[in-house]
Structure 1
Amino acid sequence: MTAEPIHPHGPERVPRNAEGIATALSGERRMEFYRELLAAAPEEAEGVLRRWWCEAMLDTDPSGDRLTAAALDGTLPTTAAADLVGRRREAGLPVE
């Protein structure tokens, strides 16, 4: 018997770098990303990249339209932040 992951790990849709993020964003959003990244102090750049990577991942999510509709309809399942923190702690993952 072999173990298979529930969510297969393949290459990420959006590479975690400025070029990957910019490629995933369209027109105006790409320019907004570059403006924010170029205006960021060196110690803020990582946070800018992290935030925009999340935006790019949402923009390129194949089920994004379904999730957006569910969020707008109020039918999107939610989880309390405290529950998520507890799960991360139980798994030995960092909680920041």
Structure 2
Amino acid sequence: MSAQPIHPHAEPDRVPRNAEGIAAALEGERRMEFYRELLAAAPEDAEGVLRRWWCEAMLDTDPSGGRFTEAALNGTLPTKSVAAAIARRQAAGLPVE
């Protein structure tokens, strides 16, 4: 038996999960920072560097990103309490450790 995602992705990732794709999604100084960090990483740490920067690149290329940033800065971003999040997970039968 294998684990399958609850909500499978219908579209491919906006940013390919490799150094070339990540670098292409980043701009200017952020791209250079990514390359510096990747080149300075020990081989066993390179995967973690790629994973972190892929997340950064996905956020940078999110079409809704500007709207969320603006709402957060204006104080209008919807939030929920930790208690509400825990209750939702419990109702769904998910762990809350």
Normalised by the length of structure 1, the TM-score is 0.71
Distance 1:40 1:74 in 2: 38
Greater Cα radius of gyration, structure 1 or 2: 2
**What is the SS of the residue equivalent to 1:43?**
helix
Distance 1:13 1:70 in 2: 23
Total equivalences in the alignment: 85
Rounded to whole Å, the distance in 2 between the matches of 1:43 and 1:9 is 32
Match status 1:51 vs 2:31: no
Give the unaligned 5+ runs of structure 1: 1-5
One-letter code of the match for 2:54? W
Report what 1:13 is aligned to: 14
In 1, the alpha carbon distance for the partners of 2:42 and 2:9 equals 36
Q: Which runs of 5+ in 2 are unaligned?
A: 1-6
* Percent identical: 74
Match of 2:70 in 1: 69
TM-score by length of 2: 0.71
Q: Which runs of 4+ in 1 moved over 6 A?
A: none
Q: Which amino acid aligns with 1:43?
A: E
